[in-house]
Amino acid sequence: MTPSPRRKSSSDALLPGWFAVLACTVSLAFAALTPDAAAQSGPAPPPSSATPPPAAPPPAAPPPAARAYTTGLAPMPGDIEVPLALMPPGTAVSPVPSDEIFPPQTIPLRFNHKKHVQELKLSCRSCHAGAYTSRTTKDQLLPPGSQCDSCHDVDHSDIASVKAGTDENGQCAFCHLGENPGAGGRVAAVVLPDANLRFPHDKHLARNIQCGQCHGQVGQLELATRDQLPRMAGCFGCHNMSGAAQGEARGECTVCHLTHPDGRLVQAFPTGDLLPPRWLHDAGHTPDWLERHKTVAGANSALCASCHSAQYCADCHDGRIRPRKVHPNDWLSMHAQAARQDNPRCVSCHQQQTFCADCHRRTGVARDVASGNRPTGSRFHPPPAEWTLAPRSARHHAWEAERNLNACVSCHTERDCATCHATKGLSGGQGVNPHPLGFEHKCRAAFSKNSRPCLVCHQSNDSFLRTCR
């Protein structure tokens, strides 16, 4: 007996209809929450007879020029500080190059020296061949774009219309950073002002002075910047040597620095005034220079004369600008000894026939002053027994005249000397012989060279001159 089929209840009959109503309600609710969905989907598709729309293509890859490069933008990756061992010699005392000697530069380039030198095994001469024949800082030593064409997929034969290749390393943005505003797509220009310096690259390279001895270890850096330019303290490593080691690398300022026609250094530049550094003989013109300069000038006045004339110093020290603080307070009592020891330094500021003689006349310590005006017990020279009369001693005037005749003529004229030394009867001469022993055997050469000094004391027909003619 087969079982009869189960009868459906009323709830079983209503389930399919209720489920369909619930599904429609949920669909309408979601459609109400996302109103843009319908707008984005566009109009309803046509009947099944219409073909479906094609699928959207995937987004295109960015062109090579749009890549964000991270290397070759600074000397070190991430623009970290360059180790001192890789910097040019002298960086320890001069951290940055002088703005007056090396004006600021603009280098809108991306370049990796380390890759070219260490990986590609290129030498400095491969790109900077012009340095090996350069004799002036006005020479252009940066390689032209055409020199890069042999390795990069680019054509610089017409610089006004550079043709980029298809490879990534041939795109303009691979090396150039940005464009010149309003230049019609031309890349930003490299600005390298001429250095205010005399520097022959060829002479240094001929003496086997390699690039790293002036520019540091550029081959271990990425982008070479202005910081790799030489420092003056590094130059003195060779130019301040002594003897044969120095060679032609003299240490005078005018060897490297630009000069005026009178030989003084050019000091004023658009980027500032050229001033000595503190490490150079302590001559830095810092705020305490007014107090320190007397010591530096006294020890090495030639250093000051590299930039300043004697009139420059006099304009300050004559009392018109600064009070006279050149000498110590007791200088009047001490200056006689200093003048005898180092007369040339005195005449750098004072005129002997005016300043010195006028002061001596006013004070009565001078030969042409009336004896009544001379202060009691005051004399310029030692007593006559030591200064004038024989025998000669270390205090005799003959020794002073032979040692420094300029000091004598600051007060005396030839007539004063002839009063004693001329032949008797000539200019009131007393016939005192000023010549050393044995002079008559060599007077012929002196007379033939310049007879005028002889004729101050002797007449042309003087018998004493017969052996000298």
Question: Residue 65: pLDDT above 60?
Answer: no
Cα distances (angstroms) measured from residue 66 to each of 59, 86, 155, 156, 276: 15, 33, 20, 21, 48
Provide the 10 A C-beta neighbour count for residue 394: 7
pLDDT tens-digit readout, 381-411: 888 888 888 777 888 888 888 887 877 877 7
Nearest by Cα to 215 from 199, 203, 227: 227
Instruction: Give 212-218's long-range contacts (Cβ < 8 A, gap of 24+).
Output: 213/89, 214/88, 214/89, 215/88, 216/86, 216/87, 216/88, 216/89, 216/91, 217/85, 217/86, 218/113, 218/117, 218/124
Least confident range from 6-10, 51-55, 82-86, 108-112: namely 6-10
Query: What pLDDT was estimated at residue 319?
Result: 61
Query: What pLDDT was estimated at residue 320?
Result: 62
Per the model's pLDDT, the better-predicted residue between 363 and 433 turns out to be 433
Nearest by Cα to 464 from 428, 427, 433: 433
Question: Whole-angstrom Cα distance, residue 123 to residue 116?
Answer: 8
Question: Residue 64: pLDDT above 80?
Answer: no
Per the model's pLDDT, the better-predicted residue between 61 and 95 turns out to be 95
Q: Please classify residue 97 by burial: count the beta carbons closer than 10 Å to its beta carbon, then call 0-12 exposed, 13-18 middle and 19+ buried.
A: buried
Mean pLDDT over all residues of the chain? 81
Question: Residue 292: pLDDT above 80?
Answer: yes
Query: What pLDDT was estimated at residue 27?
Result: 52
Among the residues of 106-231, which ranges form H helices? 113-114, 124-127, 201-206, 212-215
Least confident range from 113-127, 295-309, 358-372, 418-432: namely 358-372
**Residue 87 binned pLDDT confidence (cut-offs 50, 70, 90):** very high
pLDDT tens-digit readout, 9-40: 434 444 445 444 444 554 544 444 444 444 44
Amino acid at 37: A
Query: What pLDDT was estimated at residue 167?
Result: 92
| pTM of structure | 0.57
**Residue 321 binned pLDDT confidence (cut-offs 50, 70, 90):** low
Instruction: Give 405-408's long-range contacts (Cβ < 8 A, gap of 24+).
Output: 406/343, 406/347, 406/352, 407/339, 407/340, 407/343, 407/352
Query: What pLDDT was estimated at residue 53?
Result: 61
| Mean pLDDT in residue range 241-262 | 85
Joined together, the tokens standing for residue 388 give 């004038």
Question: Residue 259: pLDDT above 80?
Answer: yes
Question: Residue 260: pLDDT above 90?
Answer: yes
Per the model's pLDDT, the better-predicted residue between 230 and 46 turns out to be 230
Joined together, the tokens standing for residue 445 give 């050469």
Among the residues of 158-262, which ranges form H helices? 201-206, 212-215, 232-239
pLDDT tens-digit readout, 440-455: 888 888 888 888 888 8
What residues contact residue 133 under an 8 Å CB cut-off, 6+ apart? 201, 202
Question: Residue 54: pLDDT above 50?
Answer: yes
